[in-house]
Structure 1
Amino acid sequence: MTSSQMLGDVAGRKSGLDASGCSICVSPQRPDALVENRISQRVGPYLEVEAELLRGVPLCKTLRGMGWMWRRSPHSVPEEKWQFLWQSLRPVNTYDVFISHTWKSSGLSKVLALLLSTGWHSALAFWLLAILVIVTLQVCFPDLDNHKPFVLSKRIMNFEEACPLAPWAVIATPLAMTLGVLLAPYLPQKLMKEGTCFLDVACIHQADPALKERGIYGIGGFLQHAAELRVLWTPPYLTRLWCIFELAAYRVANPTGRITLTPIFIEHSVLFLAPALWVASSCYWAAAASGLNKYGFILGEALPIGIALIPLVGFVQGLRRFFCAKHKLFEELRAFKLASAECSELFDQIFVISAIQKWYGSAEEFEKFVQGTLCSEMSNIQTVDVPLPYCLLLTAFPVSATIDESLALWAGGAPMPVVASSLIGHVYGICVCWCLVSFKLLYYLCDRFAVARHTGFADYLQTLLIYLSFSLFFLVGSYTGELAYRHSLETAICHACLCLVGSGTPFGVSSQICNQRNDDCVFLLYKVHCDSLLQALELAGFTILRQAWLDEVVSQITRYNSLDLDEFLQMLHMYEERHYAEFTKVFEHFDDDQSGTLEAHELANLLEQCGITALDQVLKEIMVEVAPADPGSITMEEFKRVIEIIHVNEGFSSREIIKLKEVFRKFDLDRGGTMDTSELHKAMAWLGHGLTKEEVQLISDSCDVGGKGVLEECEFFGFMRKVKEKEILMVKRELKKQRPVGGAVYMQKQLDRVLRALGYIPNAQAIRDAAEDAAIIRRSSQKLLG
């Protein structure tokens, strides 16, 4: 289905008629002209937004009041509140993050995920502060030990005494962490290190209908000003047309921007696992307080912990479901169809589809992009894994129980080596390092075996096996650590070091992978081989192509034979500096009197020295634009501006650009926004250019960025520039062959022979300009060419 057919189908479905219905203002057969005209009148260009609408908000500020603006419908909020919010937003020029999400998902679920992702710093800080206060009180006020109602009896090395035990750390940990997360949105922005973000409901005026409409249809402009597009992925995301629009627009508006995939189920899994770990830690502490330690590790510790971990069975089942959703995401990307995306408003749907058609040429091309490039890059952006900060948050619960135990040993008069062995071997070695490894294993198993091989009982059996594997792995490591720190301080240190290496390996490897993939998550990021750089420079519009310059620039950037996107952009910047340095040198050579200006009539010769051939009417038009006050002379800065305009317009005048656009639309027979070789050949024949299909194919291949096999409109201009250069070169060559003896004035019959030798009738203006450039005809004799 083409984009035009899709627009017609959308119109028909929305109006309750078939695709040929006429009760709406859009013609299904050719909706693009009428619809785009209406869209352009109503909302303007797709990727522009008015500067006064650029308002930003810190992400943490949107979470205040338990994230009311995420949870509540905009219609249920008083207009006065929206007006106050709009006035409190500060104007910005750029956004650090553009938040992309769907309102089909629960607002509360996104609030909880964002509270954790933005508040884990303060949660850890509050927890550490609480532990510090508890330790300080017990060390500075030893009389408090008399009020401890429980006793710890545990043999460590040669020490075994009844030690006063209190659950202060176990109790304080969940309270401190919850308080830290909830207060995070209210902390100073400098402490949170939060940049400015765009959130649709906050940064688009909700009380003023006119401003709201301008903001909604300026989404593309907002995206253009965002350094990062952060996708809060939930299962309904790819079913919403506006979400698809944001992905499509960001790729076009900001090709060097960063896209980050953030599935909120990772934060949900941490929020679900934290209470289970606190229950397990409390059970361990209760077992120690009840004296079960004297019955050995199995009955005294392993059994209580195992019983406490039973709720993890439900957690494992839920986490597997979460990871199934992740696998489903990539399946949806690989099978994406634009027609399946939903939108509540007809005009919005037409707006989005028209924009996608304009940017990608057709719905089919966009679907190929989503199914191929986007799917590949999304899967490489980052491994969906539990981050280290979240794992550290989870370790706080077992650490709190062992902190209470170490404080009990100190209060009971244990020697310092005993207390140190407990802190190093038990608190750090087992509860920090070994727990980190165990959490990594749990998330890996849930991801690896997320999809059940069979349904029903086999699915639950798979969950049970994952749970048992995790529990056995954790208990074996814990038992080894218990033996080590109870034996001596030295063995405790050795065990802690081994656990540190074990915990650092998976996080170190995943960190490197994540960093590499985050560096690679820029759209259109492909390694460019150095052998292709000269062609890339030509496509970028550089007219002076010198391998020596290129080799020198590349050697300063990398020692490898290929460039990534950042290195490629750096290469372009450095080569541009060399380019303009050469232009400056040529300009100074022509500037004999060192006045800093040149006469306008010298411009053509100056450009020729820079490798640029421009026709007289083009130069006259550009001079009026660049130097309207004095088009008879030109400065160095104006000269650079002339070169930039020539590059942008591919050497054509404004009138020629308009004509070429008309030709492109005329011969884009399938209305796909691109032209293939067959369409190009027909266009050349219609324009009077005698090119064979092979010649058309050769020139087309040199202009086809990315090897798509078709040319977009901007590439078509480059194609026509090369055709024009080829034509002028042929005309120059044939005119030189027909040069009159003893003179430079051509008679009509000589020009006829030239045209017959060329095999086709070129444009008369091209003949005049070529003859003048070849210095074989006087301006006064141009009448012979009429």
Structure 2
Amino acid sequence: MGNRPCCDERVKAPAPEVVAASTPVELCDGSISPQDSSEYPQMGRLGTSSSLNMQRQPAPGRMSRLMKLKHLEIDEDIMRGANLRRTLWHCGRAWRRPPSELSENERAELWKYSTPVDEFDTFFSHTWLTPGKWKVFSLMLQKGWQVMLVSWAIAVAVMMLLCLEDVLPMPWTYQARYHDFEEVCPFGPWIQFVGIVALILGMVISPYVPTYQEMVFFDMFSIHQTDARLMERGVYGLGGCLRRSRQLQVLWSSPYLSRLWCVFELAAYRQANPNGRILWTPLFRERALLAIFVICCWMTALFWAFAALQAGPESSMIGYAVSLLPVILGTHALRRTFREGQKLLDDLQYFDLAFAGCALEFDRRFIYTAIQDWYESEEAFTQYVRGPLREELLTSASFRDIPLRHYMILLPVGMSLSLEFLVALLKGGAPAPVLARYVIGLMLGFDVAWSVFCLDLFHYMCFRFRPLQFTCLKCRKLLDCGQSILIVLLSVFCWTFGGEVSHLAVHSGIWPTLCWTTFATCCALVSLKGVPVVAAFSGMCVGWIPCISAKPKDAEEVVSI
């Protein structure tokens, strides 16, 4: 990130401008009305009276900014940032509804989330045409995956201890058959169940754990929602806030580039910060993670159902085959989700400023004037979006790769099941060599390395064979269903192959176990694009220390380094 736009040679970066006390106050001619607020989709309905007891410093109005080309002028009095962690309390309740759906009292309460700041760590750019729940879900996973992992580890350790001390009952048995150990071992579901609950609970409580400190600009917190004058200063002073932002994080969804104000934020940030970082956060990736997580939980739930029913191998195979129908449906939905990734690239490649929506003619004039001033022409800006900005996105983010944090959320589901068997072996009195082979071959070789390879393969096939557009609706549906079935069958084959080989290696001895684990690790590294990813992941984990506030690092660490 941070590449200069194609027209930087022709447009010099503006010098910092701060509103002076001598600047005359200019009130908006016909203040922004509730009907007008829909043009800037992040804004809600407006009131007409001042609800603040604060001293306003003289500041230019929207006409003054337009006529004097002061789009990037900084209005110090309205620089207000919100603590990101605090806004995500109560599962991000404050994010979930747009201001236009809130009462006047509720909109007035939003102002309390923000405090005066000199600069922003992150400026969030988004559109309210996309539900706020997906933005909350995406941010909570990005910022809270370490807390989720720690909460899972603590819960699993406690459950293992309780099981080993016979505090919890073990309702079933497991027949261990190794060449140097055969025993009927007690077996229970506690680690698996509590581990999944701990993952979910970790995401919920993550905003309350002081693992990061990030002051952000988010429109409905940083711009007053009931005072008409303050809101006008906030809306038309966005350029100054962008200038004082360390990075621009785009919460991307399908309608994003269709909104002219969103386009303005992209243009203004690159002009105000030629070397600044634009961070693309496609919301569809977290929806894809949710779909895969549900599929993993579904398969483990089936295992426990068959264990409770004491089904034999033949019955279990039939049950698993029948249960693939929900998996196929989930895969089908996942492939549709990945279509948004291609749409983002297409939106940038075929971007046309004329198609960006704008309800108010004044706002269109305001934004077009700024773009013409910064990029010399509308066509030059269009070419910048289609060229350097798109290349910047392709360099910084890979939609085909799974972000590292997603692995850290998915892998514990399978590892919890293996820990159940490990506890069973411990309670059954398995010797140390058997336990060592089990940990190396099954937990490291299969649950970690081979699972990473299988997840990456499944993810790649879903993205590569996302639904295509055909004129014939019947042909499209048949092809889509066939592709989803084929993807599931190939994924099941790959997973089953790894499981059988790992069990064979573990039962054969330490050297076959080491060979299998080495092979699985190599496959995982190939899918992860090599050793640099390991270094990146190590830095992410070592650099994170709970209860110590630090300036935010990259929110989007992806596998493609």
| TM tier relative to shorter chain | 0.7 to 0.9
Which of 115, 124, 137 is the equivalent residue of 1:90? 115
Distance 2:320 2:408 in 1: 20
Which of 494, 504, 528 is the equivalent residue of 1:507? 528
Contact 1:430 1:477 in 2 (8 A): yes
Correspondences of 1:96-495 after superposition (within 5 Å) = 96-139=121-164, 141=165, 143-144=166-167, 147-188=169-210, 191=211, 193-287=212-306, 295=313, 299=314, 307-384=322-399, 385-452=401-468, 455-495=476-516
Contact 1:150 1:165 in 2 (8 A): yes
1:499-532 CA distance string (max 9 Å, x none): 22321332244966998xxxxxxxxxxxxxxxxx
Report the CA distance between 1:266 and its aligned residue: 0.8
Describe the SS at the equivalent of 2:420: helix
Distance 2:385 2:353 in 1: 10
Report the CA distance between 1:390 and its aligned residue: 0.8
1:519-559 CA distance string (max 9 Å, x none): xxxxxxxxxxxxxxxxxxxxxxxxxxxxxxxxxxxxxxxxx
Say if 1:512 and 1:487 are closer, same or farther in 2 by CA, change over 3 A: closer
Say if 1:427 and 1:307 are closer, same or farther in 2 by CA, change over 3 A: farther
Distance 1:182 1:207 in 2: 30
Correspondences of 1:608-623 after superposition (within 5 Å) = none
Mean CA deviation greater in 151-160 or 470-479: 151-160
Q: Which amino acid aligns with 2:250?
A: V
Contact 1:150 1:164 in 2 (8 A): yes
1:461-497 CA distance string (max 9 Å, x none): 1222122221111111111111111222342233223
Describe the SS at the equivalent of 1:242: helix
Contact 1:124 1:177 in 2 (8 A): yes
Distance 1:88 1:62 in 2: 7
Mean CA deviation greater in 487-496 or 459-468: 487-496
Q: Which amino acid aligns with 1:394?
A: L
Instruction: State the match for 1:644 in structure 2.
Output: none
1:232-272 CA distance string (max 9 Å, x none): 11000010111100111111111000111111111111112
Say if 1:453 and 1:214 are closer, same or farther in 2 by CA, change over 3 A: closer
Report the CA distance between 1:81 and its aligned residue: 5.2
Contact 1:49 1:215 in 2 (8 A): no
Report the CA distance between 1:38 and its aligned residue: 2.7
TM superposition score normalised by structure 2 = 0.78
Instruction: State the match for 1:693 in structure 2.
Output: none
Distance 1:320 1:206 in 2: 39
Contact 1:428 1:496 in 2 (8 A): yes
1:435-454 CA distance string (max 9 Å, x none): 11111111111222224375
Instruction: State the match for 1:721 in structure 2.
Output: none
Q: Percent identity?
A: 34
Report the CA distance between 1:204 and its aligned residue: 1.2
Instruction: State the match for 1:586 in structure 2.
Output: none
Mean CA deviation greater in 193-202 or 123-132: 193-202
Distance 1:291 1:493 in 2: 33
1:169-189 CA distance string (max 9 Å, x none): 12112211111111112222x
Contact 1:53 1:215 in 2 (8 A): yes
Say if 1:502 and 1:292 are closer, same or farther in 2 by CA, change over 3 A: farther
User: Could you say which structure has the higher helix fraction?
Assistant: 1
Distance 1:186 1:130 in 2: 18
Q: Which amino acid aligns with 2:114?
A: L
Say if 1:88 and 1:276 are closer, same or farther in 2 by CA, change over 3 A: closer
Say if 1:428 and 1:183 are closer, same or farther in 2 by CA, change over 3 A: same
Mean CA deviation greater in 73-82 or 218-227: 73-82
Describe the SS at the equivalent of 1:152: strand
Describe the SS at the equivalent of 1:99: strand
Q: Which amino acid aligns with 1:173?
A: G
Correspondences of 1:43-58 after superposition (within 5 Å) = 45-58=70-83
Distance 1:451 1:408 in 2: 44
Distance 1:401 1:469 in 2: 23
Distance 2:386 2:95 in 1: 30
Describe the SS at the equivalent of 1:261: strand
1:25-69 CA distance string (max 9 Å, x none): xxxxxxxxxxx9934379971012212222222322222233233
Report the CA distance between 1:304 and its aligned residue: 5.4
Contact 2:446 2:502 in 1 (8 A): yes
Q: Which amino acid aligns with 1:114?
A: L
Q: What is the CA RMSD across the aligned residues, in angstroms?
A: 2.8
Say if 1:303 and 1:383 are closer, same or farther in 2 by CA, change over 3 A: farther
Distance 2:503 2:372 in 1: 65
Distance 2:62 2:405 in 1: 51
Q: Which amino acid aligns with 1:46?
A: H
Distance 1:344 1:362 in 2: 22
Q: Which amino acid aligns with 2:480?
A: D
Contact 2:62 2:236 in 1 (8 A): no
Q: Which amino acid aligns with 1:152?
A: Y
Contact 2:449 2:524 in 1 (8 A): yes
Distance 1:494 1:319 in 2: 34
Distance 2:335 2:409 in 1: 21
Q: Which amino acid aligns with 1:461?
A: G
Describe the SS at the equivalent of 1:49: coil
